[in-house]
Amino acid sequence: MPITVGHDSAKTRKTLTVGSSSLAYYSIPAAEAAGLGDFARLPAALKVVLENMLRFEDGKTVSVDDIKAFSEWADNGGQNPREIAYRPARVLMQDFTGVPAVVDLAAMRDGIVALGGDPQKINPLNPVDLVIDHSVMIDEFGNPRAFQMNVDREYERNMERYVFLKWGQNAFNNFRVVPPGTGICHQVNLEYLAQVVWSDKDQNGEEVAYPDTLVGTDSHTTMVNGAAVLGWGVGGIEAEAAMLGQPISMLIPEVVGFKLTGQMVEGTTATDLVLKVVEMLRAHGVVGKFVEFYGEGLDHLPLADRATIGNMAPEYGATCGFFPIDAETLRYMRTTGRDEERIALVEAYAKENGFWRGADYNPVYTSTLELDMGTIVPAISGPKRPQDYVALDVAAPTFAQWVEGQRSAKDASPKEEVRWEGEGGQPEPADIPGDTGHHKRGYVKTDEGHYQLHDGSIVIASITSCTNTSNPYVMIGAGLVARKARALGLTRKPWVKTSLAPGSQVVSAYLEAANLQEDLDAIGFNLVGYGCTTCIGNSGPLEPEISKAINDYDLIATSILSGNRNFEGRISPDVRANYLASPPLVVAYSLVGDMNVDITREPLGQDQNGKDVYLKDIWPSQAEIAELVEATVTREAFMSKYADVFKGDEKWQGVEVTDSQTYDWPPSSTYVQNPPYFKGMSKDPGVITNLENAKVLAILGDMVTTDHISPAGSFKESTPAGRYLVERQVPVREFNSYGSRRGNHEVMMRGTFANIRIKNEMLDGVEGGYTKGPDGEQAAIYDAAMAHQENGTPLVIFAGEQYGAGSSRDWAAKGTALLGVKAVIAESFERIHRSNLVGMGVIPFEFTGGDSRKSLGLTGDETVSISGLDTIQPLQEVPCTITMGDGSVKEIMIKCRIDTAIEIEYIEHGGVLHYVLRNLAKAS
């Protein structure tokens, strides 16, 4: 489909000749020559946004003043928070967030028909790629059957969703689906979809070159920043609006420069580097900001390592973590099979338009940090947050100290012992390294023998997630650790559930070419699927005996994974401590099966001769890794594996769908239901009204993540969501996960605030999704919210700092809205969730003047009114009246986090999709 640009000005539109081809492009140097400003010292990340302004300048949505604002940004030391309208070139989705997005598009088609419009008006104007990667679950592991059995179960569980997605692929323009079993969306994007510099015909039929940009419905869309492609995560709501031609309203961001010097030393990995970067940037504060990496250290940093750092931008809180185009970008494009003409275009365009990182690259930044990569040491992060950095040599005592804190905070007495039946009796208690008398222990018998479990026993060791499986250096490193361990007779401990889930089929190709997959298989890291698996909470069930022992003895079980997220309740309902680590360390920890062991000093086990084996004995050198990467990670492998990326296997090809413009919603489906957002919608928007006499649904603490608000993992039959499915004759074995049921608003409403580890401060010491109902008694949050809705009572939520951190999931906002919450009042918000709340018509507010839920002494018995909303302006402070449970009244001022003028319109319409739908209906 031709691209549409805002104007055809001879001042900034120039011609670029590459080989025998000539393309138009919008020139930043030409804009300078035309007197629009001085842009030479802008960071490359911001130049991408500036080019977008030049290309779409029309005097209305984008003005000349918007362009000049970028020069003023540089003059003002990297600050000029002007509102701009940004249009990304494409959209990336995965199935957990993609299914509800396509559900919304299908519902919008029904909605526009009801308003008298044309359903074909609801069509993506920008290209959309949806990669099915979040649905495979690790039911089977540690054997050669694991991959096929998990794939078979994936199709059994998810056929309704796959039928729906395949219908969407046929019904909508510009919408492609990458079938299950291909890889993780961010890795497929990095290795295949992304082009760095794009080209397409404009409305005049002329070929135009422009930077490859995107937004994605997954927060780790930022991974592609490592390849100089500007992209970041947005909620599905915002992505849908972008698909339908709505520009993204944003403020010109601050850009933090992160200077890298030196180079990595022996024994360290890109994972160790990124965990340090996360810690430093979280401390610096980069929420809502761009981060750009620069410095001579980039000369020694492979693009795979850059992608690892870009991937974890959500963990350090930034909008993106960008690396400019340089020679390494071109090398990676060539290795991964990009066309030589494309590579030539990227180089010519970057050098001509000021995007190239040369030796003299020295832009203006809002602020800067610096890190010598030679100082990086092996590390892990945990047990609850990615920024909880722990150097490996102090990991064991740090964990023991954390356990002591957990146990001393509550009754540490062990439960009554649960003994197994049969021969052998109960073993003598084994010592627990680092135990200060607080660790609990328990006993279990499985087919692999009987043994002691205790606080710190590692029950999951998973090589998972695009963050690391996209990086051949750490994956080859993990294979070499497995090879050396196998040669010495070491293997995983029997209580450790091991798994290998690469982010693309290319990983399997080079592991097999290096003969390393056989070594990984030998110690239990068999291929379980191509997808997110453990990182998204699809770790699958533990063996029943192990799960029972953990819960019977109230043990703090542990996981170690090569992912990017380790929030409470995310990885497994049986696991309370989760650590992020490099793939080689995941393998090493599986050999000892215990977080209490100091693997930098203590033996991992004994070889065939009874000799102690240490980590240094099985750790590969950088030269060993580089040699195998050079030999096995080839251009041919990438070209072969991506040759038929949209075709899929026989199972996908066998999915049958009907051809129709609107979707025939199956009434009995428990996966896909027509949501209520647009039913009975009027042709005209409403007005913003003051909030009167709202009740408190929850009072939440700091760093409440979107995993807390809308969990993605499994749930039990006793939960509101479980009861809903049981009432519809869905057996517990078929529950699947919250993430897989995001196409059904009935399940997701019931799952909102239902994380097993969330703590509502209205209740004393209670974990899980509970609150006080209208009668003052403890009730499930869903049940209480429905009771308040029946009474016509609006609801508010109070929270601490960094509310809504983590994943970009739109259901954290959708569920909040459907429960009847009208406002969230927090100390601060993470970027994506704030935007999602606005997109669903929920108004975010921030405390001011040092007020907080604690300083105000809130208990949940209050009634809340907010005035000034009928005349609200962006970022305005408004009065909030809190009537306490004893009848006393507190008046405070709170800051409205409707950040831009267009967002006020979204709230007036009831949400951004309502805004778009009404405009499209009028246009048709």
- Please indicate, yes or no, if residue 392 is contained in any of the structural domains: yes
- Please indicate, yes or no, if residue 613 is contained in any of the structural domains: yes
Q: Is 174 exposed, middle or buried (0-12, 13-18, 19+ CB in 10 A)?
A: middle
- Please indicate, yes or no, if residue 562 is contained in any of the structural domains: yes
pLDDT of residue 1: 38
Domain limits for position 552? 379-620
Are 611 and 699 within one domain?
A: no
pLDDT of residue 426: 61
502-508-510 Cα angle (round to 5): 125
Are 567 and 700 within one domain?
A: no
Contacts 24+ apart (CB under 8 A), 5-14: 5/55, 5/56, 5/202, 5/203, 5/208, 6/55, 6/56, 6/57, 6/58, 6/61, 6/62, 7/57, 7/58, 8/204, 9/57, 12/36, 12/54
Question: Of 559, 606, 611, 608, which Cα lies nearest the Cα of 585?
Answer: 559
User: What are the two backbone dihedrals, phi and then psi, of residue 521, each rounded to the nearest 5 degrees?
Assistant: -60, -40
DSSP one-letter code for 329: H
Are 701 and 570 within one domain?
A: no
Instruction: From 86, 118, 149, give the residue that closes a domain.
Output: 86
The span from the CA of 622 to the CA of 468, in Å, is: 17
Are 490 and 396 within one domain?
A: yes
CATH of the domain at 769: 3.20.19.10
Are 415 and 526 within one domain?
A: yes
pLDDT of residue 736: 85
Are 561 and 700 within one domain?
A: no
Are 569 and 456 within one domain?
A: yes
- Please indicate, yes or no, if residue 547 is contained in any of the structural domains: yes
DSSP state letters, 127-147: -EEEE--S----SS-SSTTHH
Are 696 and 580 within one domain?
A: no
Instruction: From 61, 86, 111, give the residue that closes a domain.
Output: 86
**Three-state DSSP state, 733:** helix
CB 19 within 8 A of CB 341: yes
Are 616 and 699 within one domain?
A: no
Q: Is 647 exposed, middle or buried (0-12, 13-18, 19+ CB in 10 A)?
A: exposed
CB 222 within 8 A of CB 38: no
Tokens of 542: 């533990």
**Three-state DSSP state, 215:** strand
- Please indicate, yes or no, if residue 291 is contained in any of the structural domains: no
Are 603 and 697 within one domain?
A: no
Number of structural domains found in the chain = 3
SS (H, E, C) 699-729: ECCCCCEHHHHCCCCCCCCCCHHHHHHHHCC
Are 582 and 705 within one domain?
A: no
CATH of the domain at 571: 3.30.499.10
Are 704 and 581 within one domain?
A: no
pLDDT of residue 427: 62
775-777-778 Cα angle (round to 5): 135
- Please indicate, yes or no, if residue 874 is contained in any of the structural domains: yes
Which residues, 6 or more positions from 111, have their beta carbon under 8 angstroms from its beta carbon?
677, 678, 679, 681, 917
- Please indicate, yes or no, if residue 206 is contained in any of the structural domains: no
pLDDT of residue 603: 97
Tokens of 369: 């940090």
pLDDT of residue 409: 65
CB 437 within 8 A of CB 473: no
Instruction: Return the amino acid letter for 685.
Output: P
Instruction: From 86, 101, 136, give the residue that closes a domain.
Output: 86
- Please indicate, yes or no, if residue 180 is contained in any of the structural domains: no
What's the average pLDDT block by block, 10 residues per block, for the chain (924 residues)? 47 91 95 95 98 93 95 96 94 90 92 91 93 89 94 91 94 94 94 96 90 94 97 88 88 97 96 96 95 98 96 94 98 97 97 96 97 97 92 96 83 46 59 82 86 95 90 96 97 96 94 97 95 85 93 94 86 93 97 97 95 97 95 95 92 91 92 91 92 98 94 91 96 89 95 95 94 96 97 97 86 96 96 91 97 97 97 96 96 96 94 90 82
CB 392 within 8 A of CB 615: no
